[in-house]
Chain A
């Protein structure tokens, strides 16, 4: 299983599309950091969890696209044609799916880490600020649920129709344009700019209202459930042409 994971990582990460996506993410990230985050959001410091969270919310659409892009390696028509060979092998489908899920998660985590690393470099460079541990919680809360959900839902959609993954890619952009309720503020980035103002304190400590925390938990649970469902799926099919992906 380790070997499959390594080869899948190589397929996903050692190609011009990944490097292109990485470069675009880093370029956009630097623009956000040096143009928006540097000013601080909601009257907080640029290196406050709120400003950092705002930066991450702006990065989520690109990371979402990256996560779905990794899935195209498993759900494309070409991948389906390769699945007729891999399906005939005796490795249990669950283990195989797990190795591939792990590779997609690793690729997504790598993209996210590149964005986090860029922010760390930015804070060190401009503010000589190195207390990164205070940013861990907003990073986990902001990134983990949508990215796990992107992988889970993307896998399901890609299995139904490969092109649905591409339709799914601009969803975060659509959410950013919608006036979502406060509990879903993390989904369109409004949470980090609005919520600190309601706390009536200067540079308040990071906290999450129960409704927003519940929304993120639901998103994470839904993503994890979809990934688990994919891993549980058997490979014997009754319909011709339906390949295991």
Chain B
């Protein structure tokens, strides 16, 4: 499967420009992490990709066919978890998944439901009414409905929100396995979620793509721009973007990113989080 985003812009009726002349190519198999601060345009991009919105300029091609003409074909291959969604509280987990399986037209809904309920660890709650579930369990039902029928295109918008750390690791691995033969797009602002599993990163801010490449490439781009120093005076921090402050027995140890590291800072090996912060802070300065 291939998605081509060509010169896509999106301006909401209230005048807010969410995306500006976006160009991207997404291909199977891949697990793409979409990173960016709140309001960067990630959710808007995802809504455009699932044809919930139409761009105000540009086009999106699904295997060469433009949306909305390819709407049905796209949705037949799509599993989608939006950031904010509701469930039918009156139904049980199994009933809701059966409802979604009917909407998706799955030939063997029972087997598909069994598989996804197992995948999201909801076997014990399969017969419980949705209104009785906790926030994390509801999130897992949302993930389960997206996974129903093994769709070749999975789009998850902040999927790990509300999940405990153990579940987050479980789902990270689940997405990683799913991406072996699918196209998985994972939007998040939690670096940890994408660090270990994504083979491609797209960093967005202010409706524009700042970076596209592998996590290693992003880390390399911050080489020589990350340093640590002992906090002595406030003035030391001028022109730096502090990413961490650690209290130690000898004082406060600061970690910072900057275009030009000051002489008192000792260069450090960047992490993905450093590189991401370096990229977004540099963009903010520009």
Contact = CB atoms under 8 A, between A and B. Distances in A.
Contacts, number: 91
Contacts of A89: 75, 100, 103-104
A126 interface: no
Interface string B69-84: 0011001101010101
B24 interface: no
Given A81-B85, A85-B85, A90-B105, A11 B50 contact: no
Contacts of A81: 84-86
A106 to B, nearest CB: 16
7 contacts: A82-B88, A89-B103, A90-B75, A90-B105, A237-B53, A238-B56, A240-B12
Contact of A91 (B12, B85, B103): B103
Contacts of A80: 86
B76 A90 contact: yes
A7 B99 CA distance: 7
Interface residues of A, number: 29
A10 interface: yes
Contacts of B160: none
A243 to B, nearest CB: 9
A85 B52 contact: no
Contact of B13 (A1, A10, A11, A239): A239
Contacts of B54: 236-238
Nearest to B81: A85
B25 to A, nearest CB: 22
B145 interface: yes
Given A10-B90, A236-B51, A239-B12, A84 B100 contact: no
A14 B90 CA distance: 8
A4 B101 CA distance: 10
Given A4-B99, A239-B13, A85 B80 contact: yes
Interface residues of B, number: 36
Interface string A215-228: 00000000000000
A102 to B, nearest CB: 14
Nearest to B71: A236
A237 B105 contact: no
A85 to B, nearest CB: 5
A88 interface: yes
Contacts of B142: 85
A83 B103 CA distance: 12
B189 interface: no
A128 interface: no
Give the 3 A-B CB pairs with smallest separation, nearest first.
Answer: A81-B86, A89-B103, A82-B86
Nearest to B96: A7
B99 A91 contact: no
A15 interface: yes
Nearest to B72: A90
A96 interface: yes
A90 B104 contact: yes
B85 A7 contact: no
B103 to A, nearest CB: 4
B75 A85 contact: no
A96 B103 contact: yes
B253 interface: no
A100 to B, nearest CB: 12
